[in-house]
Amino acid sequence: MAKIKLELVNLSKEFGKLTAVDDVNIAIEESETMALLGPSGCGKSTILNMIVGLEAPTSGDILIDGKSVLDVPPGERNIGLVFQDYAVFTHMTVRNNLAYGLKIRKLAQPEIEREIAKVAEFLSITHQLDRKPDELGASELQRVAIGRTLVTSPEILLLDEPLSNLEAAMRNQMRRELRRIQADTGQTIIYVTHDQIEALSLAHRIAVMDFGSLQQYDTAHNVYQYPKNRFVGSFLGNPPMNFLKGKLSESGGRRAVTSGDSTIPLPAGNLGSDVSAGSDVVVGVRPESLSLASADDPGSFSVPILAIEPQGPETVVTATFGDSSLKVIVPTGTEATEGDSIALVPKSDLVALFDAESGVRLLDSGDRR
């Protein structure tokens, strides 16, 4: 059982009547890399500020190594923070930026020089130590910002939207860099982001948040494939998860969801809660989890095609399922025309059933591989 490095216990923050963070509980393991993911306003930045110490929680606790740090000022929590805009000190050289934290800790000059050289080497910015920030590009500035915190050897590293300020080409490079830093330093790293691709590509575990509460905290794989509620399902994945509204029906021991003329059979399994035939449900299934079948395959269903959009090697087919629409990715060249029907079969363990009102996941079978 891995050691818990950082733990948020019943953490809440209110600003007057607005509840920004609502009773969040997260336990982050040592040397783990996790992401706080959610749309703007979901509370992730507030949590970031509370972990670092720039804001105090209204209630709840924050524990590092098992001890509460609520009374510990930001500079002494041994946490490093890299801002979204890097916040490099523009009036100082790179060297002095890196040295800032060390000078505060009253290190001796030769030691400061050594640490700076090490970090600069590690982040490949040695040749820029004596330049001023206005001569540097975005990804170099980011490395200075990272270096500035790494040099103080924090035990926890927080990065706010690390990839959002970079151009596409830079992002891949920085992703590799970040993974290298993860591997080499063994620190506990927390990414805060609204970009699900960023989260999926960088983190072991993802905490998905919405409106101040934690929706799901699990490995990236699980959060992606086995979302606990409709929000999580919709937030991750591009193209997004399909949501098919309909009524639950049961015949001959097999369950299915029907809307209008379309029916999708549900895989066998228990339902997590009492759901009776006839109630409104929503089926969630990702486009890539649907494959072409022939009409008489078991477990398949047919839907009328609405539109076909070739996109290079793949084609996106939009079909209708009752009132909802459904997207499928098929190889280009597949025989299909608008107006036809197409037969699809879902991967049985990747179908989710959500309550139509609350969005909570109902079908429990097949989760947690």
Partner 1 sequence: MVTNTSKGGVSTIGMGKPRRFDPNDKKYIPALLITPVQILLCVMLIFPFILEFVISLTEWQPIYGDFWTAFGSVFTQKINQGINYNYLVTEEPRYLQALGRTVIMSVISLCLEFLIGLGLASLFLKKFWGKRIWFTALLTPMMIMPVVVGYTWFMLFQYNGPINQIFGWIAFSPVNLQWLNDGTLAFIAVIVTEVWHWTPLFFLIMLSGLNAVPENPIRAATVLGASNFKIFWTIILPNMRAVIIIAFVIRGMEVVKLFDEIYLLTRGGPGTSTETISLYLYKLAFEDFRLAYAGSAAFIVLVITVVLINMMLKPIRYQLVEGR
Stretch that binds partner 1, among 73-81, 136-144, 233-241, 261-269 (CB under 8 A): 73-81
Rounded to an integer, what distance in angstroms lies between the CA atom of residue 27 and that of residue 4? 6
For residues 261 and 231, the answer to whether their CB atoms sit within 8 Å is: no
Vertex 184: Cα angle to 181 and 190 (nearest 5): 45
For residues 190 and 161, the answer to whether their CB atoms sit within 8 Å is: no
Minimum distance from CB of 176 to partner 1 (Å)? 25
Structure token pair of residue 154:
């924090």
Structure token pair of residue 301:
């269903």
Structure token pair of residue 108:
């001796």
Nearer to partner 1, 38 or 53 (CB): 53
Minimum distance from CB of 208 to partner 1 (Å)? 26
For residues 294 and 360, the answer to whether their CB atoms sit within 8 Å is: no
107 binding partner 1? (CB under 8 A): no
Nearer to partner 1, 89 or 211 (CB): 89
Which position among 39, 74, 304, 366 is part of the footprint of partner 1 (CB under 8 A)?
74
90 binding partner 1? (CB under 8 A): yes
Minimum distance from CB of 150 to partner 1 (Å)? 12
Which own/partner contact pairs does 134-141 have at CB distance under 8 Å and 24+ positions apart?
Answer: 134/90, 136/94, 138/165, 138/166, 138/167, 138/170, 139/166, 139/170, 139/173, 139/174, 141/86, 141/88
111 binding partner 1? (CB under 8 A): no
Minimum distance from CB of 133 to partner 1 (Å)? 10
100 binding partner 1? (CB under 8 A): yes
Rounded to an integer, what distance in angstroms lies between the CA atom of residue 89 and that of residue 47? 25
Q: What end-to-end distance do the CA atoms of the chain give, in Å?
A: 19
Nearer to partner 1, 103 or 176 (CB): 103
157 binding partner 1? (CB under 8 A): no
Nearer to partner 1, 75 or 239 (CB): 75
Q: Which amino acid is at 165?
A: N
Minimum distance from CB of 340 to partner 1 (Å)? 56
Which residues, 15 to 34, sit near partner 1 by CB under 8 A?
Answer: none
Minimum distance from CB of 49 to partner 1 (Å)? 9
Q: What binding mask, one character per residue, do residues 33-72 give for partner 1 by CB under 8 A, x or -?
A: -------------------xxx------------------
Minimum distance from CB of 100 to partner 1 (Å)? 6
Rounded to an integer, what distance in angstroms lies between the CA atom of residue 134 and that of residue 119? 21
Tell me how far CA of residue 273 lies from CA of 61, 76, 215, 270, in angstroms.
33, 47, 18, 9
Which position among 89, 185, 213, 348 is part of the footprint of partner 1 (CB under 8 A)?
89
Residues binding partner 1 (CB under 8 A): 52-54, 74-76, 79-81, 83, 85, 87-92, 100-101, 104-105, 145, 148-149, 152
